Chain A
Amino acid sequence: SQTIHQWPATLVQPVGSPLSLECTVEGTSNPNLYWYRQAAGRGLQLLFYSVGIGQISSEVPQNLSASRPQDRQFILSSKKLLLSDSGFYLCAWSASFGQGLGDTQYFGPGTRLTVL
């Protein structure tokens, strides 16, 4: 079965510091990968998605970036955090096109980021 991991679970960082959040998926190959942010009491905001190694698309312009160095690894980064970057960051995966599973996405446990 497939599993998705995120770490760290919780992070408190000062404004202006760098950020690196990691997500890995097990039990599937060539997944589509997604980064979302969920502000308190708000819906899910898609930040980045990737359909393959090195292929990243950005949905929202901001000071965050994403990379996919390996098939099942997705990293969210920032060089300098802003207060507005605080939130709950979720990684998700879905089967790649043609595997007959529609567009169902499966989420990781999330990382709660507080920028002070």
Chain B
Amino acid sequence: QKEVEQDPGPLSVPEGAIVSLNCTYSNSAFQYFMWYRQYSRKGPELLMYTYSSGNKEDGRFTAQVDKSSKYISLFIRDSQPSDSATYLCAMSGATDSWGKLQFGAGTQVVVTP
């Protein structure tokens, strides 16, 4: 079983809809949770970073962490065609000397005009 599970999609939504993405994990030691956005043929860029449980909002993006259920989510409100990309979740445990991240496989999102 992988440490981080993420549905690869593709997830197709109409413009203006809410995009809902999630990852589940098995390692209860994870404390740092990230979401990256990766456009085709580009490097991943950091979207959201959260520590421990709770919600974090940044513009149209909301990240949620539920450590009791080992489940994290990313919501994109008022989705735009420019949001079409692959979204990767990533997480790590207590910071050690080099900070290895566990990545999900990524979910491809397509926002249609």
Binding site for B on A (CB under 8 A): 6, 32, 41-44, 46, 49, 51, 57, 88, 90, 94, 96-97, 102-110, 112
Contact = CB atoms under 8 A, between A and B. Distances in A.
B95 A103 contact: yes
A3 to B, nearest CB: 12
Nearest to A51: B98
Q: Which 3 pairs across A and B sit closest by C-beta, in order of nearness? A: A103-B99, A107-B43, A103-B92
A104 B46 contact: yes
Main secondary structure of the interface of B (DSSP, over half): loop
A41 B38 CA distance: 12
Given A103-B32, A103-B99, 10 more contacts: A41-B8, A43-B104, A44-B44, A49-B100, A102-B49, A104-B46, A105-B46, A107-B44, A109-B42, A110-B41
Interface of B: 8, 31-32, 34, 36, 41-46, 49, 51, 88, 90, 92, 95-101, 103-106
A42 B38 CA distance: 12
B29 to A, nearest CB: 12
Nearest to A95: B99
Contacts of A109: 42-43
A97 B44 contact: no
